[in-house]
Structure 1
């Protein structure tokens, strides 16, 4: 009993792509490069909130260090 290769849609152009395609999950190198360009230009964003409390604390500290002159200092 053999199973057919899994097929998905190319995330860039929506063509059907088999899992055996060398550019999978993209249909071609062109679509892969277009997708990479969207990530690099900021068109795509990861929108889930940060759940790691240690990372949140570290981000807060680094933000405070970058902006040492807060509104409290300007009085």
Structure 2
């Protein structure tokens, strides 16, 4: 199966529960994630949970964002 994947935007935050900021480029490290992001820094919401829940990045499909935006617009 051939797929065409595009990254439309990258957002990161240095702590959990703060507004993510867009970045123009990123340095990604295997087994760590995006440099400067909460997952790589170990400051994410689930970083201290036992047993460990490994999170290096979160991917959201563009179609999911479009559906969420439609729901928000419908609610007014």
- TM-score, normalised to structure 1's length? 0.24
- Judging by fraction of residues, say which structure has more helix: 1
For the pair shown, the structure with the greater C-alpha radius of gyration is 1
Greater strand proportion: 2
Give the TM-score, by structure 2 length: 0.24
